[in-house]
Structure 1
Amino acid sequence: MESPQYDGTYCATAFWTSKVGFQIEYWKQQNDLLNIPQGVARICYKDSIFENGWAQLEVETQRSYPDWVQAYAAGILEGSLTWNNIYNQWRNTIQSSCDRDEDSQNFCTWLRDLTSANFVKQKELASKLGENDHYWHQISLYFNQLEGIETGYANGAKRARSDLEEEIPLSDILLMNSAADIQDLKIYYENFVLPKQNATQSTETLEVTKNFFLPSATMLTKIFQTDDSPALKLLFGHSTAGSYASMLRIQKRYKFRYHFTPNQRTNTVPGVDITFTGYPGILGSTDDFYVVKGRQVQAIVAGVGIKNENIKLWQAVDITQSLPLAARVMAANRLAQHRRSWAKAMSKHPITGSKQWVTVDLNKLNPETDLYTKLSEDDKHDDAALTVNAVDEAAILERHNKNRGLIWIAEQLPGVMHMKDVTENFIYDNNTTWFANGVPYFEDILEASGVSPENFSFDVTPADNAELTNLEAVDKYLRKNGFRGDLLDEESVAYGNIDLKLFSYNARLGMSDYHAFAGPIFLRVQRTQSNDVADNTAVRVQEQSDVTSSLKDDRLSVSIEDASELAELEMITEKRSVRNDMQAIAMQRIGNGPFKWSDMSSKLSIEHEGHPNEWNFEKVSPKWAW
């Protein structure tokens, strides 16, 4: 008999009864994932970070069990199978950052006290209000799952007979799950908690530390209609900005069959199936990219950090009442039947987690849509009469109504949130593409932020828009406008765009395409020419490299489909500053783009336990079992 072939996927099942409690069965490696016993929850996990830059985790729960049992079981399973990467992520981020110096230790002590006190208070409140309030019930389940993570992590380490240097306290698991809030809390701490800024700085002169204005994540959304079909098509790209130390990445799928209330006779929530890119031990995306599916729901949700230069906004909020952003967005993802209700759920507790969000209802990208049937107030488009002069006006309005709610944008600053259906802006006014990099979209948020848009904003040119017809073009565009902190001169930092996610949906075919790249974005050169042409190209590449090696620019990464078309490189020489005090080298050496930790060892001392040395991975499209 042939020995079974295993691929490194480990599975487990959690069982529960009211008399016995929880029992975990570990199935080790299995080939037939479909036949893994369901129990109250089951999980399959593969650590393929050294293979393609991503681990993959899938958790499924059953609606016949109480919601708190589902949540806690899911947490136990995830913690027990991913414990090693949870430890590495904690060591690389929380522990190393908090132990850096005395100021960092003082900040982390304050932060741990705040998040732990908020956890106790908000968990008690959620348990009480969740009996009748759908939103608070989901918040309560988030806390249940967090406690399960803590239990599972301890059990997983013990089961592996691991002699860990340190255990991870619940306070630090809370910090890991507050990663999206810590940047805001650091601003608050430095400006309001420290001893009155040495008792000399008033709120009239408060300024934010410049490091908070490192280039942000970016995302591109395009909704358009092709000539051969009335259906709409979505192209979407997202690139996370973060510390290189945080690059232990997981593609997660949570298929949780929660109810609207603790009463099991109520319906399951619409957003049962949530796929996202995340990190070990963290229950939300943190880099803010989700695909949500369920009963009559099919949507994407994505966000980037929003820039805020108005420190006085913090005076109007009470941070002791804040909820982690991850808890808020997961509650909204699960409860929302449509994009309006998602935005409404997100509007609660807008304290920490300054973000701009876009969410698209994929079900509204339907073949019946006609871009020329829109009535702008009482007037048709000038060219619409050629199409609709024989069509009843009521039918026009009916088709137009089908598009309402297709795309919403929501923006949050401390204590302030603006959300709006922007469908008309996208598909009726020829503004089909939006490139988001943290500059506020809405005028009132822009005014409140105090941001000067000329320093940060970037408009998609008509030529770029014409090129953006497929995911390859989106990939290329986001790489051109990315950031690599390790390519700076003396000011090199281990910070930049650390991944790339690409998603498309074709309504005519009812099909989606999704794939992701792990690691800092970089220049890709592909040579497909004959040997003679390739030799000549190599000479030109070297000549161009000598020129670009001394250039300063923020366009750190360019995808070049064909090395023979080196005219692309002329675009790189175009100057555009990242920040007044930060210039970036466009490319140091063409063809030597992937980030390597070994290249940074002499410049930066950054913890990166569990990381591959070289981040040169191809695209990954996860294949889910359930």
Structure 2
Amino acid sequence: MAQCGKFLIYFSIFIITLATLCSCQSGSVIYKDGLYTFSKGINKRAASYGTFTDKIASSGWTYLDVHTNPQDDDFITAYAAGYVEGILTAKYIYMHWKNTVGDYCKQKSIYCQKLKSFIMKNNQWMATQIKHRPHSIYWYHINLTLIQQKGLRDGYHKAMPHKPIDEFSFLLIELSGDLESLETALKDEDTHHVLGSGSCSAFIKVLPDNRDLYFAHDTWTGYQTMLRIYKYYELNFSMLPKTNVTVPGTRISFSSYPGTILSGDDYYLIGSGLATMETTNGNSNEKLWKYVTPSSVLEWIRTIIANRLTSSGNDWVKIFSKYNSGTYNNQWMILDYKLFAPKRPLNPNTLWVLEQIPGKIESADVTNVLKKQGYWASYNVPYFSSIFNMSGNQEQAKKYGNWFTHDKCPRALIFKRDQHKVNSMESLMKLMRYNDFKHDPLSRCNCTPPYSAENAISARSDLNPADGKYNIGALGHRCHGGTDSKSTNYTMFHSGLKSYAIAGPTHEQQPPFRWSTAKFNMTKPLGHPDLFNFTRQLVSWD
């Protein structure tokens, strides 16, 4: 049993045969007299219920769906949703924590004290805002988000009492995106970021005659993170307490990880009609880090709030822009599938783009760009000139060349050259998994050997030779690359927030990634398959 006061503030479609290795468990959380009790099986009258399906061995994914009772108080709903997820996914939370941030502070005592102080001050500041703004929809839902996160933590400890994770260490999983910026802003001298390291490729395509609208994303990150959960939440929140107005983003489907209530990739399909995703731009202008202060809302929370509370691109960027933390600085794409109709002209506000750096956010309706080009591509270089110049990309381009430019970097040119080949979901997947770095002239670099597996839509930096010579660190040998691909279209989105998803580094033109033959000074992460040779999955919540 767990106890939580209501007003506490806390912070190839692949058909699987019956022989496929798969385990499934379901459970419900019942709330009564201030206590939360977990029981096996589905009870649709419970405060929350969910199902966790483990197909990691056959598909590279696990799957989680969480539902809540619309009759319950929002605070009960938030905590119960986190609690049932924490129990059902506890084993994977522990393994993912050990694989990624379990030893994060082991040799960073000075920096971690700064980080803990920053987080404590940030929590105190948010608590003050929540307390003094009881009628604010924004702060009400930040409180619910933090309560859900506490429920997740408590559910984990209910299931895994013998393997405790302290509150700060648990929060590091949630902070994975913000953490890289905080390392630089708080001057972590033990961490050295790789020059030019990219994070994600994204692509939006309008077919000729507006027949369809595709939405696709590749995550780029360290391979130790490839313990994945694809999630579906149906969280029946009200806009404010005791109102009959529900939030637009009650239902949301997203690729994710154990121990976190957001995507992190980020790739979201939302019942409001919005699809949102981002790629990381970063910031190399040291002068801007002064704008990173505890009196702000970290990016992971602002993402959840914007996805939940809005139903248009214009409103999304307004909500997200509040209390800019200057951490996890990305280019966000907000696609409104409600405004698209096959074979009809594109409506204004169909696609909004937002870019963030410390101290500044710029956004615009870029539907006309999508209409003119027939596509929108995103690849870790700012689109808006003000963001490009202020974040230091102009200086990097002068020093290192076109690799740091928006229109001439390798991925910009590959997308421009090959986007016309996309006319089906199969050809979309081929583009998003594309990496022919040894033969594609656009993958060449001033390096030895004269090409890099980073210069592709889905990177495979593990294939770059460890003894190669590269003037930009990101182009070299690393345990890093494209770790998945997700995509949807108009029909799939509107028929239940469905996606195609494929797990692991690309093997379209390259050999599949295998931990046992990978040349890294590390053991295979807990829970990972040895071989990532998976086919495309249809993610459906029917």
TM-score with structure 2 setting the length = 0.83
2:268 aligns with 290
Return the alpha-carbon distance in structure 2 between the equivalents of residues 61 and 140 of structure 1.
17
8 Å CA contact 1:365–1:507 kept in 2: the answer is no
Verify: 1:189 aligned to 2:186, yes or no.
yes
Shift of 1:69: 0.7
Contact residue 283 and residue 326 of structure 1 kept, 8 A = no
In 2: Cα distance, 1:498 partner to 1:233 partner: 26
Matched, 1:308 2:262: no
CA distance in 2, matches of 1:70, 1:143: 12
Residue 199 of structure 2 is aligned to residue 216 of structure 1: yes
Q: Are positions 1:412 and 2:356 aligned together?
A: yes
Q: Deviations over 1:484-524 (max 9, x none)?
A: 1211212532111111112122599979762111111223x
SS of 2:103's partner is helix
Structure 2 equivalent of residue 258 of structure 1: 237
Ranges in structure 1 where 5+ consecutive residues have no aligned partner: 28-34, 198-207, 372-402, 524-557, 559-586, 588-592
CA deviation vs aligned residue, 1:559-604 (integer Å, no higher than 9, x gap): xxxxxxxxxxxxxxxxxxxxxxxxxxxx5xxxxx11111112x532
Which residue does the alignment assign to 2:220?
Answer: 241
Deviation of residue 483 (structure 1)?
Answer: 1.2
Post-superposition offset of 1:186? 1.2
Instruction: Give 1:474-489 correspondences, 5 Å limit.
Output: 474-480=428-434, 481=456, 482-489=458-465
Deviation at 1:125, TM superposition (A): 2.5
Output the CA distance in 1 between the equivalents of 2:193 and 2:157. 39
| CA distance in structure 1 between the aligned counterparts of 2:487 and 2:494, rounded to whole angstroms | 18
Structure 1 position 358, deviation (Å): 0.5
SS of equivalent to 2:294: helix
Q: 1:6 to 1:499 in 2, by over 3 A?
A: closer
Distance 2:493 2:147 in 1: 41
What's 1:200 paired with? none
Cα 1:621–1:105 shift into 2, 3 Å: farther
Give the counterpart letter for 1:271 in structure 2: G
Distance 1:213 1:368, change over 3 A: closer
Distance 2:327 2:493 in 1: 40
Are the structure 2 counterparts of residues 137 and 424 from structure 1 closer, same or farther at C-alpha, using a change threshold of 3 Å?
A: same
Judge conservation of contact 1:112–1:175 (CA < 8 Å) in 2: no
CA-to-partner distance for each residue in 1:87-135, whole Å, 9 max, x for gaps? 1111111123433xx3x34333432332244234324423442x21111
Question: 1:146 matched to which residue of 2?
Answer: 149
| CA–CA separation in structure 2 for the residues paired with 1:88 and 1:147 | 19
Aligned to 2:72: 65
TM-superposed deviation, 1:459: 3.4
Q: Which of 331, 335, 351 lines up with 2:305 in the alignment?
A: 331
| Percent identity of equivalent pairs | 27
Q: Are 2:414 and 1:473 equivalent residues in the alignment?
A: no
Given residue 471 of structure 1, which amino acid in structure 2 is its aligned partner? M
**Partner in structure 2 of residue 76 of structure 1:** 83
Q: Aligned letter for 2:307?
A: N
Alignment check: 8 A CA contact 2:514 2:532 kept: yes
- For residues 125-180 of structure 1, what are the alpha-carbon distances to aligned partners after superposition, in whole Å with 9 as ceiling and x for unaligned? 23442x2111111111110011111110110114xxxx43xx20011111110111
1:501-548, Cα deviation, whole Å (9 max, x unpaired) = 12122599979762111111223xxxxxxxxxxxxxxxxxxxxxxxxx
Question: 1:268: how far off?
Answer: 0.6
- Aligned with 1:114 (options 115, 118, 123): 118
Residue type of the partner of 1:348? Answer: K
User: Paired residue for 1:176, among 168, 173, 190?
Assistant: 173
Equivalent position of 1:369 in the other structure? 344
Q: d(CA) in 2 for partners of 1:499 and 1:300?
A: 18
> Would you say how many aligned residue pairs link Structure 1 and Structure 2?
479
Shift of 1:23: 2.0
Task: Provide the C-alpha distance between the structure 2 equivalents of 1:241 and 1:74, rounded to a whole number of angstroms.
Answer: 29
Partner residue, 2:3: none
Give, as a single letter, the amino acid of the residue that structure 2 aligns with 1:214.
Answer: S
Q: Please state whether the residue corresponding to 1:268 is helix, strand or coil.
A: coil
- Mark the CA change 1:462 to 1:186 in structure 2 (over 3 Å): closer, same or farther: closer
User: What amino acid maps onto 1:85 in structure 2?
Assistant: Y
Equivalents in 2 of 1:307, 1:508: separation in Å? 30
Calculate the TM-score normalised by the size of structure 1.
0.72
Distance 1:22 1:249, change over 3 A: same
1:210 offset after TM fit, Å?
A: 5.0
Q: Does 1:156 align with 2:159?
A: yes
2:499 paired with 1:514: yes
Distance 2:113 2:173 in 1: 14
Q: State the Cα deviation string for residues 324-375 of structure 1 (Å, max 9, x = none).
A: 322111110111021110111111122212000101110111247336xxxx
Matched ranges for 1:515-554 at <5 A: 515-523=500-508
Question: Does the 8 Å contact 1:367/1:507 carry over to 2?
Answer: no
SS at match of 2:327: coil
Q: Given the superposition, is the C-alpha separation of residues 620 and 152 from structure 1 closer, same or farther in structure 2, using an over 3 Å criterion?
A: same
Change (3 A) 1:112 1:508: closer
Once the two structures are overlaid, the 10-residue window that deviates more, 35-44 or 107-116, is 107-116
Paired residue type of 1:407: L
* Residue of structure 1 equivalent to 2:516: 598
In the other structure, the counterpart of 1:436 is 378
1:614 pairs with 531, 538, 542, which one? Answer: 531
Which deviates more, 249-258 or 232-241? 232-241
Structure 1 residues 360 and 95, CA, compared in 2 at 3 Å: closer, same or farther? same
Secondary structure of 2:505 counterpart: coil
Give 2:136's aligned residue: 133
Residues 435 and 318 (structure 1 numbering): CA distance in 2 closer, same or farther, change over 3 Å?
closer
- The Cα shift of 1:621 comes to 1.8
> 1:67 and 1:288 mapped to 2: Cα distance?
25
Q: Return the letter of the residue paired with 1:333.
A: N
| Residue of structure 2 equivalent to 1:23 | 37
Equivalent residue number for residue 328 of structure 2: 353
Report the Cα offset of residue 407 of structure 1: 0.7
Q: Distance in 2 between matches of 1:522 and 1:56?
A: 23
Question: Which residue of the partner structure matches residue 92 of structure 2?
Answer: 85
Give CA deviations for 1:5-42 in whole Å, capped at 9, x if unaligned: 9962211111223x353222122xxxxxxx64331111
Which stretches of structure 1, 4 residues or more, deviate above 6 A after TM superposition?
507-512
Contact 1:64-1:264 within 8 A present in 2 as well: no
Structure 2 residue 8 is the aligned partner of structure 1 residue 11: no
> For the residues of structure 2 that align with 1:222 and 1:271, how far apart are their CA atoms?
24
Residues 351, 366 of structure 2: 8 Å contact kept = yes
Distance 1:304 1:63, change over 3 A: same
Q: Which runs of 5+ in 2 are unaligned?
A: 1-19, 435-455, 467-475
Rg larger in structure: 1
**Structure 1 residues 465 and 327: CA distance shift in structure 2, 3 A:** same
Of residues 413-422 and 305-314 in structure 1, the stretch that sits farther from structure 2 once superposed is 305-314
